[in-house]
Copies of this chain bind each other. A is one copy, B any other.
């Protein structure tokens, strides 16, 4: 079954568009609870136990989890990542591997293999600065989902993504500069969104959505609305809710009227929720995560009307 078909089905079943970001950290207080770090003797076991407990106690509330591979690389805990994905599948969750891989030819093929065969992720994020050569090997896995970075949630995303640009055909490659007269330019991220739309045209659609989606930060609601209008057949993965400051009202523009089209991720905001409230001890971290998801579901569903 195709990723996007499964995603739409799970969103309907669970009445949730929330993705729980599984970003394991254990460098300071308020991250993975100390009692778990003391109980297990290596990062693989600590992280796997942390993730399994979170998944076990929240899987009825969410359609998808999003592990960020950087943290598993940092703690040399890629086995924990693999086992986490296996466990998430057992609990009827989809898994978006946040890896932002980008390369070309056989190297891109190797990344796609690693993502979809070794880790068995259902979808992943990619960075398409290198063009379609980077995307194609991932699209070969027809049943899998892809989210291309369009407008990222960070402050400096404007450095490059906000340049105004245009494609000018018939200009020889050796021309590095070009003088335009009376030309409408669009932000670089808008041009990236249009590229993704173009790449997604030939792909199979379900409920009008294809497996090729985009990443747009919740921290940029106006941009999200504009990109939503451009990419009619793409799901948008919307990070930046919670810890990065965005709220339910900011993400509504990522959705169509029927309440589909977006997935809202929160990582720290959910998994370390216990550390922000005196209501919970560290042993109750999954209870705090559950409360936070329930709160997100309520607030978001109200905004998007599902």
Contact = CB atoms under 8 A, between A and B. Distances in A.
A76 interface: yes
A25 B129 CA distance: 25
Contacts of A167: 163-164
A162 B154 contact: no
Interface string A182-217: 111111101110010000000000000000000000
B127 A129 contact: yes
A19 to B, nearest CB: 15
A186 B195 contact: no
A222 interface: yes
A86 to B, nearest CB: 15
Nearest to A119: B73
A189 to B, nearest CB: 9
Nearest to A189: B176
Interface string A65-87: 00010110110101000000000
Contacts of A149: 129-130
Interface string A102-141: 1111111011011000100000000111111110000000
Contact of A188 (B110, B188, B223): B188
A129 B73 contact: no
A223 B149 CA distance: 25
A239 to B, nearest CB: 10
Interface in A278-299: none
A226 interface: yes
A173 interface: yes
A128 B118 CA distance: 27
9 contacts: A131-B158, A131-B161, A133-B154, A158-B173, A163-B165, A177-B187, A180-B180, A180-B184, A181-B181
